[in-house]
């Protein structure tokens, strides 16, 4: 057995097997990122799509994804490359790119408005070593790095690459431990700790997907937004409140009503300066 120390799961992984995330494996008694450089998605996106609204607006960013995730969101919009059986099958066909090749690609796209590289689509931190190595080269090339993450990682993981990250969008998927454990298979306390550290090292924006019957009350949004406001420069941290649509394994409810998204945004604006609505 070898123990993984990336997140709260602390998987004990048998030799030759993968951990919960499907991306880290025990090879020769050592836990290694089996998805290192394995690319499942690569696209030039508007920075606002990450979503980041107050970080170099109007720019484009080369967005890269691998496979694997340490949560089990039943409504995952990228389930083909995250944690489904399909994702694990697709992983075997993923192309391999070196950090050098990705950094060079980002530089070549500067004439098209590219400002750097975004690690996104799946959960980047299950392969944080690739993030670290690539982000350093992107910085050396004079470009910027963006991380889109669920924030489910130990602080020593964040500290290993934080100096090379310029902006993050972190999912704050709800504000009760019950929702995180019962629905997402995650840890709210770990995400909160990750956010508290992140706002001290780079630009941070947060995203909350509103799922009907789960995290859609005004009381929960009020508690969430007040907690955000209490962070370092918290009242100016942008919060994206997004509308849920039924997908993947969560087809048992309708899309979030648009008026509910707008109402929750108004609640958040009681204490936060920058609140945006999404998918409306």
9 domain residue, yes or no: no
Give the bridge partners for 18, in sequence order.
25
Q: Is the pLDDT of residue 80 over 90?
A: no
CATH number at residue 86: 3.20.20.70
CA angle 194/84/158 to nearest 5° reads 15
77 domain residue, yes or no: yes
5 domain residue, yes or no: no
What residue numbers bound the domain in which 263 lies? 35-278
- As a whole-number percent, the residues of the chain with pLDDT over 90 amount to 92
Structure-derived torsion over alpha carbons of residues 154, 158, 161, 164, reported in degrees to the nearest 10 = 170
22 domain residue, yes or no: no
Q: What is the mean pLDDT of residues 238-250?
A: 96
Predicted pLDDT of residue 93? 75
Q: Is the peptide bond before 51 cis (omega within 30 degrees of 0)?
A: yes
What is the token pair recorded at 179?
């929702």
Predicted pLDDT of residue 79? 87
pLDDT digits (tens, 9 = 90+) for 122-179: 999 999 999 999 999 999 999 999 999 999 999 999 999 999 999 999 999 999 999 9
Q: Is the pLDDT of residue 94 over 90?
A: no
Q: What is the pTM of this model?
A: 0.97
Query: To 10 degrees, what angle do helices 218-229 and 258-268 make?
Result: 40
CA distances from 266 to 18, 219, 275 (A): 44, 12, 8
- Hunting for tokens 């993923």 — which residue is that? 94
Q: Is the pLDDT of residue 17 over 80?
A: yes
18 domain residue, yes or no: no
218 domain residue, yes or no: yes
Q: Report yes or no: 126 and 35 within 8 Å, Cβ to Cβ.
A: yes
* Cα separation, 132 vs 200, whole angstroms: 18
Predicted pLDDT of residue 89? 74
Nearest to 64 by CA among 34, 89, 97: 97
Percent of the chain that is helix, strand, coil (3-state, to 5): 35, 25, 45
10 domain residue, yes or no: no
- Domain count within the chain: 1
135 domain residue, yes or no: yes
Q: Binning pLDDT at 50, 70 and 90, where does residue 81 land?
A: confident
Q: Report yes or no: 229 and 206 within 8 Å, Cβ to Cβ.
A: no
* Cα separation, 3 vs 178, whole angstroms: 26
């Amino acid at each position: 057995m070898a123990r993984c120390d990336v997140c709260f799961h602390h998987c004990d992984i048998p030799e030759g097997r993968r951990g919960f995330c499907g991306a880290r494996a025990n090879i020769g008694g050592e836990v290694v990122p089996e998805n290192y450089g394995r690319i499942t998605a690569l696209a030039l996106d508007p920075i606002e799509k990450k979503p980041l609204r107050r970080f170099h607006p109007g720019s484009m960013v080369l967005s890269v994804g691998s496979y694997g995730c340490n949560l089990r969101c039943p409504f995952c919009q990228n389930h083909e490359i995250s944690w489904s059986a399909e994702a694990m099958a697709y992983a075997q066909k993923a192309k391999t790119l070196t950090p050098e090749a990705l950094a060079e690609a980002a530089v070549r796209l500067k004439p098209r408005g590219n400002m750097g590289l975004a690690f996104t689509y799946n959960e980047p931190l299950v392969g944080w070593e690739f993030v670290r190595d690539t982000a350093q080269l992107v910085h050396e090339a004079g470009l910027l790095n963006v991380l889109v993450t669920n924030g489910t990682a130990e602080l020593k993981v964040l500290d290993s690459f934080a100096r090379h990250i310029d902006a993050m969008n972190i999912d704050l998927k709800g504000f009760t431990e019950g929702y995180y454990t019962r629905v997402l298979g995650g840890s709210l306390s770990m995400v909160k700790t990750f956010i508290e550290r992140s706002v001290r090292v780079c630009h941070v924006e947060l995203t909350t997907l509103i799922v009907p019957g789960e995290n859609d009350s005004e009381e929960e949004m009020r508690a969430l937004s007040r907690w955000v406001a209490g962070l370092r420069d918290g009242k100016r941290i942008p919060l994206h409140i997004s509308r849920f649509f039924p997908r993947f394994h969560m087809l048992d409810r309708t899309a979030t009503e648009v008026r509910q998204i707008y109402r929750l945004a108004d609640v958040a604006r009681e204490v936060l300066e920058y609140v945006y609505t999404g998918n409306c």
